[in-house]
Chain A
Amino acid sequence: MQTRIQELRKERRVTQNELADAVNVTRQTIISLENGKYKASLVLAHKIAQFFEVTIEEIFIFDEEGENI
């Protein structure tokens, strides 16, 4: 699964620390999400989407074959 977190973050000049603080996770979790090493839970995905004021689908790009969609 790919994410547009880094892209949106840079677009809006938000640091990893600021995003981490806003969604109540550690900075390392934001780094792992941006690298695609960790898949966010639905709750975290929702919080991140709320923070950027976009839908979940606009941030998290599901790989249809890999994710069995």
Chain B
Amino acid sequence: MKLFSTLPAATNDEYRKVIKQQMNRMILLALIGLFTLAVVFLGKYAFQLIVDDHTISYYSGIGFGLIFAAAASWFKNKRLLSNEERLKESRLKYTDERIRAIQQKAWQWASITLLVVIYFFMLFGALLYPNYMSELYPVFGICIFSFLVSYFIFFRIYEKRM
């Protein structure tokens, strides 16, 4: 999540703002988790929708997963704020240009891998599970289309800025 922060962090005080921003994002993530739980439980019990057990487990897993992950990260950052030495270590990792370059390369390869996996999933999925895949094709199509469109939009934006 720190990867998405654009705040400067030349000193520990500046880095504290980055950490606080990340803690706020974790609160937002926990709220998304709560919203996920609310959707399925309110749907089933308040609006009497027919929701099977598998769907409830699925939504609960995502909801609780998000809440616990956000809480763990929030407390980790809270501890970091009170320890000057560990804060400095963390700041160096956050600002280190080599680590940033590694992160960018990792994102680049992860994106390529995702596209390749989706491609093969669509290719073999259609042969093995034709009924499911006919419903999943539009979803994959939207994902790939959004990915490519956002790439070209951001490319144009940064082309003008840099």
Contact = CB atoms under 8 A, between A and B. Distances in A.
Interface residues on A, range: 10 to 19
Most buried by A among B97, B98, B99, B101: B98
Query: In terms of DSSP, what is the predominant structure of the interface of chain B?
Result: helix
Contact of B92 (A25, A38, A40, A41): A25
Contact of B10 (A24, A25, A28, A40): A24
B98 A32 contact: yes
A43 B100 CA distance: 14
Contacts, number: 27
B5 interface: no
A6 interface: no
Interface residues of B, number: 9
Interface in A9-30: 20, 24-26, 28-29
Nearest to A32: B98
Contacts of B101: 38
Given A25-B98, A28-B98, 12 more contacts: A20-B92, A25-B96, A26-B92, A26-B96, A26-B99, A29-B97, A38-B98, A38-B101, A40-B97, A41-B97, A43-B97, A44-B97
Interface of B: 10, 92-93, 95-99, 101
